[in-house]
Structure 1
Amino acid sequence: MRRLNVAMIGFGNAGRAFSRIILEKQKEIEKTMDCDIRIVAITTGRRGSFLCEEGIDLEEACRQIEEEGAFRTDSPQYSKLTSTEVIRSVEYDVMLELTPLQIFTGQPAIDHIKAAMQRKKHVVTANKGPIAWAYKELREMAEEKGVCFYYETTVMDGTPIFNLTVDTLKFCKVTEVSGILNTTTNFVLEELAKGASYEEAMQEGRKRGFVEADPSMDMDGWDAAAKTTALLNVLMHADITPRDIDRTGITAITEKDIKEAKRRGCFIKLFCRGVIEDGKVVGTVKPIEVPEQELIAHIDGTSSAVSITTDLMGKLTIVEHNPEILQTGYGIFSDLIRVIDHSK
């Protein structure tokens, strides 16, 4: 049986959701794909690292983080190695880049990916920063080193957007991408339309667990800009960064704006779009009025949607309905399965 060693750089909610999927599906993977997946390294920024060349006890790793807040230093699997040291020295086949997003640089995730690829290791990233800031360079490096480089989770969790275009829309040229990509602003605008204040909407979102303590990256449109950049870089070969996106957030939207839009039979949405103008890909993120009869107007709560327009298949729209962390974990898992399929 083939053995696949995996190093996880980052072990937040998404990493633990992925780990539980591995625990649930491991026997099935062994039976159907003749592959034994072993997590041999887990690193965190402040909660320690685990190393075990025969495979980490994932159940215990999840328990320690969730119940004790950190890896126990007296555990036989505990290690003082940093993420960079693990990436450069541990024997693994696939690196999972799961560190928190640094939206204005994409670092240190970009350097993590480069270091793994230099060792000819396959890479899966759930961090949108590298795709938004250095996609072309990383894609070319993966091709040069002959390794897999997958990133499905970077936009809309585990929804198969990138895989769809690669695997089932072969020879289609993408001419436009658009959609609702930021769940926080979508939720806030919906709550405002119901009569809530900004602060009430924020409090409710924090209570539900998806609004950050500092929501400015969402409210100012930076998260949506990063996701739009990732889509345009991959699907339309744009070679741009989030700073190239014409970006406007929702902080200037008032109760009056919401009511006037409603009077006209419209909803206000933070709309992301990329088109080709004069041979160049141009991206925008801005609040617009959407007529209530359009599908995009009814993307509610924490749902997301993306529309892909192609020359041969016309316009396709994919909706992700109110995802939980399981969907994010599945996106990482699905990319790892692709590595198994494409690296035999």
Structure 2
Amino acid sequence: MTKELKVAMLGFGSAGKAFAKLLMDKHGEILDKYKCDVKVVAIATNSKGSMVDEDGIDLELAISDVKNLNHFDKKRKGYSNLNSIEIAEKVNYDVIMELTPLKIFTGQPAIDHIKAALNRKKHAITANKGPIAWAYEELRDLAKRQNSLFYYETTVMDGTPVFNLVDETLDLCKVTEVNGILNSTTNFILEEIAKGKAYDDVIVEGKERGFIEADPAMDIEGWDAAAKTAVLLNVLMGANITPVDIERKGIEDITAEQIEYANKRGNIIKLICHGSIKNGKVIGKVEPKEISQDDIYSNIKGTSSIVTITTDLMRDLTIVEHDPEIEQTAYGVFSDLLRVIRFNKIIEY
């Protein structure tokens, strides 16, 4: 017998639209394999309006409206004036997807969105790293009390399975250390300066190519990397820390001369994320470091990323994500949705 799963999406930016396209493409396969009819019943945005339709929103029309009108058509069935928190609190859905922009110093309003869903015994999926960086234990424990599922694969490496890997294949392994290169903006800047380009020219080029935000300070000063480090340490090592607890140094003071000097010694400079246990306490650090050109980390270019998880039983496991596009981010959210379908016993094996 076919079951129905209703999804509420908070945010409909690049990742949200890519997820919607993926869901349309795979809807038939989900129905066939899992006997589950997934319907998006709500979409909330800050500037483009909202849509609510318990019969299921026409995602193709929603994408078309945003592309052609830059907002949802007010004449279309389901157009709504409800905002994101009202949708989280009032709409009839089974799973909420938190896809709103990151607020790196508070995690809000994404934290409140997820709380609202969990308090109603709904399941929650987030691509927004803020809630995991600022309130992971609170949200995790709330989900457990409510017997709800709470997933967040996309928060660090797009669709690359990091948390799923540990959850599902490293049973009873204790994570003792984490290292990684997790910020593509700094990766790109350091590489281009190493090629002899001026810093200002690199920033302009990166913005034109979409690698660099209009205000790249959060990346350059190491805040994005610190947030991702906090996420990894909170989930994998029970750190219960926030980005401000991470010892942080960005690449803002790295010069072309330093990069050239490192190169002459056979090294390369990368912004490295690190977490380990010291005196029984989990500590995190983000800093530019010289690494050997023979090291696997030296080969992480452009938008690629890497993370190494050290465990007591399996020692070092290294995962590389090569040049992800927005489709990989969408797949991370999609894979979490499939986990909800499986583990919520929507299907019976």
* 1:325 alignment counterpart: 326
Give 2:241's aligned residue.
240
1:84 Cα shift? Answer: 1.1
1:237-284 Cα distance to aligned partner (Å, 9 max, x none): 000000000000001000110010001100100000000000000100
1:96, distance to aligned residue in structure 2 (A): 0.2
Q: Secondary structure at the match of 2:116?
A: helix
Q: How does 1:280-299 map to 2 (within 5 A)?
A: 280-299=281-300
Give the corresponding residue for 1:150: 151
CA distance in 2, matches of 1:316, 1:47: 42
Matches within 5 A, 1:170-189: 170-189=171-190
1:5 positional shift: 0.3
Q: Where does residue 94 of structure 1 map in the other structure?
A: 95
Q: Could you list the structure 1 runs, at least 4 aligned residues long, displaced by more than 3 angstroms after superposition.
A: none
- Per-residue CA deviations over 1:79-133 (Å, capped at 9, x if unaligned) read 1111111111110000000000000000000011001000000000000000000
For 2:27, the aligned partner's letter is Q
Partners in 2 of 1:65 and 1:149 — Cα distance?
Answer: 29
CA RMSD in angstroms, aligned pairs only: 0.6
Question: Aligned partners of 2:45, 2:7: CA distance in 1, in Å?
Answer: 15
TM-score by length of structure 1 reads 0.99
* SS of 1:301 mapped into structure 2: coil
Secondary structure in structure 2 of the residue aligned to 1:158: coil
Match of residue 197 from structure 1: 198
Give the aligned partner of residue 310 of structure 1.
Answer: 311
Query: Who is 2:124 aligned against?
Result: 123
In structure 1, the partner of 2:107 is 106
Question: Following TM superposition, by how much is the alpha carbon of 1:198 offset from its aligned partner in structure 2, in angstroms?
Answer: 1.2
Aligned to 1:300: 301
Answer with 202-211 or 112-121: which moved more. Answer: 202-211
Distance in 1 between residues matched to 2:202 and 2:269, nearest whole Å: 15
Match runs of 1:197-216 below 5 Å: 197-216=198-217
Shift of 1:140: 0.3
Letter in 2 for 1:195: G
Write the letter of the residue equivalent to 1:111: D
Structure 1 residue 342: deviation in Å?
0.7
- Alpha-carbon separation, structure 2, partners of 1:139 and 1:76: 36
What is the rounded CA distance, in whole Å, between the counterparts of 1:92 and 1:266 in structure 2? 52
Query: In 2, Cα distance between the equivalents of 1:74 and 1:341?
Result: 37
| Distance in structure 1 (CA, Å) of the matches to 2:214 and 2:202 | 13
Say which SS state the counterpart of residue 275 (structure 1) adopts: strand
Distance (Å, rounded) in 2 between the aligned partners of 1:180 and 1:17? 25
Q: Distance in 2 between matches of 1:285 and 1:169?
A: 26
Look up the equivalent residue of 2:279 and give its one-letter code: D
**Paired amino acid for 1:13:** S
Report what 1:29 is aligned to.
Answer: 30
Residue 4 of structure 1: how far off its partner (Å): 0.1
Match of residue 251 from structure 2: 250
How far apart are the structure 1 equivalents of 2:287 and 2:68? Answer: 41
Name the counterpart of 2:142. Answer: 141
Determine the structure 2 residue equivalent to 1:42.
43
Separation in 1 of the partners of 2:310 and 2:113? 33
* Cα separation, 1, equivalents of 2:47 and 2:119: 26
How far did residue 208 of structure 1 move? Answer: 1.4
Match in the other structure for 2:58 = 57
Question: 2 CA distance for matches of 1:295 and 1:327?
Answer: 22
The alpha carbon displacement at 1:210 in A equals: 2.3
What is the CA–CA distance in structure 2 between the aligned matches of 1:233 and 1:144, rounded to whole Å? 19
Provide, for residues 127-180 of structure 1, a one-character-per-residue CA deviation record: whole Å limited to 9, x for no partner: 000000000000000000000000000001010000000000111000100010
Q: CA deviation at 1:236?
A: 0.4
Give yes or no for the alignment of 1:13 onto 2:14: yes
Letter in 2 for 1:165: V
Unaligned runs of 5+ in 2: none
Q: State the one-letter code of the partner of 1:142.
A: A
TM-score, normalised with respect to structure 2: 0.98
Alignment coverage as a number of residue pairs: 344
**Identity, % of aligned positions:** 58
Shift of 1:199: 1.3
Aligned to 2:221: 220
SS of the residue corresponding to residue 155 of structure 1 reads helix
Cα distance in 1 for residues equivalent to 2:96 and 2:188 = 34
Between 1:161-170 and 1:203-212, the stretch displaced more is: 203-212
Residues 304-338 of structure 1, C-alpha deviations (whole Å, 9 max, x = no match): 00000011111010000111000000000000000
